[in-house]
Structure 1
Amino acid sequence: MLADKVAAAGFYTVVPDFFRGDPFKDGDSLQIWFKHHGYDQGFKDAKAIVKAIERNGISKIGVAGFCWGGKVNVELMERAYIEAGVLLHPSNVTVPDIRGVRVPISILGAGIDEVTPPELVRKFEAVLKKKPEVDSFVKIFPGVQHGWTTRYNDDDKLAVKRAEEAHNAMLHWFIKHLK
């Protein structure tokens, strides 16, 4: 499990259930699901989690946001509630969102992604290059689809390799900015 890798690298690791036991499933209506799992509630929940972690004495906080979590993570980075963030195959993140980021950000995108296509990830990178005060790292992983860092076939050697590369990039980002 990815959270175990992060913890093994020496980080206090939390994996909240933002969806309260109701993750999006193939065949669900995305519009109906979003009515019950909006970004506003996700941000409120994430902010409360960050505050609780701080109360436990953790002073440097990094957040990895996968798909839906990418948008919530960007909101945390825009308000500098955290010290560093990583977006892995994010969804619904916009160029104006990236313009507002105030803390180090890494964006790991998929080469095959209709949700956040490589062209959009390149726009994010262009915005970040104009913000030298914000450390950034952007990489598009060829040959993988949206969700590849968490949903891949263990028998597919390329998929496993790309997921491990993304996991390592995320860990290195956190080590660079949080340790």
Structure 2
Amino acid sequence: MSATNTEIPALDGEGRIPAYIARPDAESSRAIIVIPEIFGVNGGIRQKVDDWAALGYLAIAPDIFWRFAPGVELDPDVEPEFQQALGYFGQYDADDGVKDIEATIRWLRDQGVDKVGCVGFCLGGRLAYMAAARTDIDASVGYYGVMIDTMLNESHAISNPLMLHIPTADHFVGPEAQQKIHEALDPHPKVTLHDYPGLDHGFAATSGNRRDAEGAGQADARTRAFFAEALA
């Protein structure tokens, strides 16, 4: 496996999106876009990219904050940095984020990739849902995606497989929001929902105070199996 930083042309000539990319040892026709949380392409996100490359996927994490905070890396366990990240979340335009995912999909296809999946966390989980509804991505996974309950009117457009991991004690996505998600998406033939009783937001972080090793292991195993089938 080899890893490096690169840049991707944004849509509409808007600029260039910085990204961290890891390539597997052998050429691959399958790729995974890792969509960061509100903490930027930090060490945890780079580890997730590396892990996908170790499994044989071309893996890439675009810098979703490149328009106003390029290169930022924050630690959710450091309170001032956590607050800084919340500020970036308030400043962020998710519609721009989907454009950046679309740009990454196009770039990967230009690299010779046949099948593209995305996996996102927190804000990235919301973007994974939006990508499933608004792009031609082949498969999407969202971990503890925020504000999905406000976008359920887009679910009719989901035509490729989507999996969502929902911790039931998520203090950013409460019981009412979770109920709306289940009511709208449980019947959807392309959507699979998994609940994680008693777990909170961020349980699948690679390290730190938020991580729950058992829950993360279960969710990550489901995600690996999902992509193995959906991107075959």
TM-score (norm 1): 0.83
3-state SS of 2:197 partner? strand
Of 130, 142, 148 in structure 2, the residue corresponding to residue 93 of structure 1 is: 148
> How do residues 1-179 of structure 1 correspond to structure 2 at under 5 angstroms?
1-19=47-65, 20-22=70-72, 25-28=81-84, 30=86, 32-34=87-89, 36-94=91-149, 95-132=152-189, 134=190, 136-150=191-205, 152-153=207-208, 159-179=212-232
The residue identity in structure 2 corresponding to 1:166 is: A
Higher helix share: 1
1:65 touches 1:71 (CA, 8 Å); kept in 2?
A: yes
1:83 touches 1:103 (CA, 8 Å); kept in 2?
A: yes
Aligned residues, how many?
Answer: 174
Separation in 2 of the partners of 1:27 and 1:153?
17
Q: Deviation per CA, 1:117-145, whole angstroms, max 9, x where unpaired? A: 3553343233233333x2x2211112321
CA RMSD of aligned residues (A): 2.4
Q: Alpha-carbon deviation of 1:29?
A: 7.5
3-state SS of 1:62 partner? strand
Identity of aligned residues (%): 24
Separation in 2 of the partners of 1:153 and 1:29?
16
Q: Deviation per CA, 1:156-177, whole angstroms, max 9, x where unpaired? A: 9x81111111111111111110
Q: 5+ unaligned residues in a row in structure 1: which ranges?
A: none
1:2 touches 1:167 (CA, 8 Å); kept in 2?
A: no
Q: Alpha-carbon deviation of 1:27?
A: 2.4
Q: Alpha-carbon deviation of 1:35?
A: 5.4
Separation in 1 of the partners of 2:92 and 2:73?
9
Moved more, 158-167 or 92-101: 92-101
TM-score (norm 2): 0.66
Separation in 2 of the partners of 1:162 and 1:129?
21
3-state SS of 2:185 partner? helix
2:144 touches 2:201 (CA, 8 Å); kept in 1?
A: yes
1:153 touches 1:160 (CA, 8 Å); kept in 2?
A: no
Moved more, 136-145 or 168-177: 136-145
Separation in 1 of the partners of 2:111 and 2:212?
37
3-state SS of 1:48 partner? helix
Q: 5+ unaligned residues in a row in structure 2: which ranges?
A: 1-46, 75-80
Separation in 1 of the partners of 2:206 and 2:228?
24
Q: Alpha-carbon deviation of 1:51?
A: 0.4
Moved more, 92-101 or 106-115: 92-101
Higher strand share: 2
Change (3 A) 1:131 1:27: closer
